[in-house]
Amino acid sequence: MSSLRHRVLPPQLLLNWPREASFCLLLLHPEPNRRPRISELLQSEFLRQLRQKSEELEDGGELRERIEEQELLLEFLSLIHERKREAADKLQDVVSVLSSDIEEVRKHWTVLKEKGDICAEFPSSEHVDFVGHSAKAGSRKRLRAGFPHQHTEQSDDEDMNDGKENIFLKSSRLLKNFKKLESAYFLARSGPINQSERRVVEPLPVSSNSTVVTERSSINNFLMKEDHEERRSGWIEPFLEGLCKYVAFSKLKVSAEINQGGLLNSANLVCSLSFDRDGELFAAAGVNKRIKVFECDAILKDDRDIHYPVIEMASSSKICCVCWNTCIKRQIASSNFEGVVQVWDVTRNDVLMEMREHEKRVWSIDFSTADLTMLASGSDDGSVKLWSINQGASVATIKANANVCCVQFAPDSGRSLAFGSADCKIYYYDLRNSRFPLCTLIGHNKTVSYVKFVDSTNVVSSSTDSTLKLWDMSMSESRVVDSPLRTFSGHTNVRNFVGLSISNGYIATGSETNEVLVYHKAFPMPSLSYDFNSTDSLSGHDSDKTAQFASSVCWRNQSSTLVAANSTGNIKILEMV
């Protein structure tokens, strides 16, 4: 401080900051009158330059901030532009694929239309019979009925557009599910063809553009130019068949009703329904400990309100499942809550054999369609047993990791078996080597309650996660399959067994909303549904619908007739119309 009093500044200050040092010496002038006033200081060149530099720095900071903001906006807009451009390119590719498919389908349509015109030029009784027979036998009911009998100047595009109005615009069900149908189209267009859906089709005289899709090809592969034109349209027939079957029926109509409800007995839950090999008789069984056999045609022809079973057999325990022998018409098997498997002679109303090797409840049984003496059962004791009816005892046992809820033999094979378990998995076995599963299907997140074969390689599973899943085991490249072909949703199933049955690609299941729903294997959404009447037939009052659920379903062999039951014991014979 004494140095400053004598105006002595540090040498480094004088050397490095001479302007600042001069300003300090001016402020330290020994004569107070010579020292600058406040107004002079504010107007001094030194402070003015400092203020200017500070303002420049502040302006520079704002400028950098604005530049950074503009860079952020630029990056954001560039990212949107890039993504939209990719979406536009992809959309253009999709439009190109659609145009290609439209052109190909138009060729087929034109050829069929020309064939119809040619046939119309030669009206004869033979032609009339042929057309009439085709109309009755064809499954594609919703395609435009008939061909024009006279050639008109109307273009093919106009004819095709008329067809769209007749089919799509007049079908609220199609419009309601248009997005899902669109997704199913792209899935079929890009996905692999099922082995079971590959079939020999009569070649149409359409040129050499008839095609078959390569396995595991995606939609991006279709967007590229194919070396062989034969590889483009293999998806068309399966998708067209599914679409036609989806629109072939509009509702489930009640043809007959059997009400098993009683004033003194509230235990009427039907756990299982099963038709015999000819579709003449069906059995219903459940917690009332009885197997009731009804004659289907007699019920359909009878207008009475009350229908009695033609045969009734009593069990000692609540029944979980019944299954007819597919070869021996008089034999039916049952399983119950006590773990007992029984084989009955329906004609004598008597038990042929009783097998008690399971330790807990037996949920499911199934007769082999290839070996009439072979029966399989799945139990809460975590085992699957194979029984020989001739021996009256088990001939093999497969141990599972959890409760076994469902079993079924592969059709036309006594060597393959699938079963579903409480560990959320489906196991597929070759019974010639039952030590390890041939493959394991993983995809459900709750108990697998039903498993049914669509054909020799395709399986549908049902779970209490409120989904059905379609699996193709022929596409498996390993012992684990974790990608189903399709997942079906629309019903509710979180607590109970609600039934599962398959016929001609139609998949029927119950729901805990007291409904029956029908899917087609080609599409993930329900095609038809029926809601059980929630009015109590005895009291006439609305019953508690939340406590009721559809408990079992069964197709009448390969027909459009479906038998369904609910938790109150109400059985309905439904017809797809």
H or E element at residue 156: helix 156-164
| pLDDT the model gives residue 113 | 85
% of the chain at pLDDT higher than 70: 78
Half-sphere exposure of residue 238, counting CA atoms within 13 Å on the CB side?
A: 26
H or E element at residue 561: strand 561-566
Average pLDDT (267-280) is 92
CB 325 within 8 A of CB 332: yes
- Cα torsion 429, 430, 432, 433: sign: negative
State the total domains in the chain.
1
224-254 pLDDT tens trace: 433 333 444 677 888 888 888 888 898 999 9
Per-residue CA distances from 326 to 323, 369, 417, 551 (Å): 9, 6, 16, 23
Query: Domain range holding 489?
Result: 249-576
Whether residue 406 is predicted with pLDDT greater than 80 in this model: the reply is yes
- On whether residue 244 sits in a domain, the answer given is no
Q: Greater confidence, 210 or 257?
A: 257
The most distant pair of C-alpha atoms in the chain lies apart, rounded to whole Å, by: 138
- On whether residue 82 sits in a domain, the answer given is no
Per-residue CA distances from 336 to 259, 291, 359, 363, 399 (Å): 23, 11, 11, 7, 20
| Encoded tokens for 550 | 């559809």
C-alpha angle 278-279-280 in degrees, rounded to nearest 5 = 90
CB 319 within 8 A of CB 335: yes
Question: Where does residue 431 fall: left (phi above 0), alpha (psi -120 to 50 degrees), or beta otherwise?
Answer: alpha
Alpha-carbon span 426 to 442, nearest angstrom: 7
Lookup result for tokens 């149409």:
204
- Judged by average pLDDT, the poorest of 187-191, 319-323, 444-448 is 187-191
C-alpha angle 215-220-226 in degrees, rounded to nearest 5 = 70
| pLDDT the model gives residue 22 | 77
Whether residue 286 is predicted with pLDDT greater than 50 in this model: the reply is yes
Q: Greater confidence, 168 or 407?
A: 407
- On whether residue 207 sits in a domain, the answer given is no
Q: Greater confidence, 312 or 220?
A: 312
Alpha-carbon span 76 to 89, nearest angstrom: 20
Lookup result for tokens 């809460």:
380
pTM given for the model: 0.73
Average pLDDT (486-509) is 95
Alpha-carbon span 464 to 446, nearest angstrom: 6
| pLDDT the model gives residue 132 | 37
Percentages helix, strand, coil for the chain (3-state, rounded to 5) are 30, 30, 40
Half-sphere exposure of residue 75, counting CA atoms within 13 Å on the CB side?
A: 6
- Judged by average pLDDT, the poorest of 13-22, 135-144, 187-196, 296-305 is 135-144
CB 572 within 8 A of CB 563: yes
- Judged by average pLDDT, the poorest of 13-22, 327-336, 564-573 is 13-22
Check which CATH number belongs to the domain holding 410 and give it: 2.130.10.10
Whether residue 133 is predicted with pLDDT greater than 70 in this model: the reply is no
Lookup result for tokens 């189209």:
185
- B/e letters for 79-97, b = 16+ CB within 10 Å, e = fewer, are eeeeeeeeeeeeeeeeeeb
Average pLDDT (371-400) is 93
> Cβ atoms within 10 A of the Cβ of 223, count?
15
- On whether residue 300 sits in a domain, the answer given is yes
Whether residue 148 is predicted with pLDDT greater than 50 in this model: the reply is no
| CA 137 centroid distance within chain | 29
- On whether residue 219 sits in a domain, the answer given is no
- On whether residue 513 sits in a domain, the answer given is yes
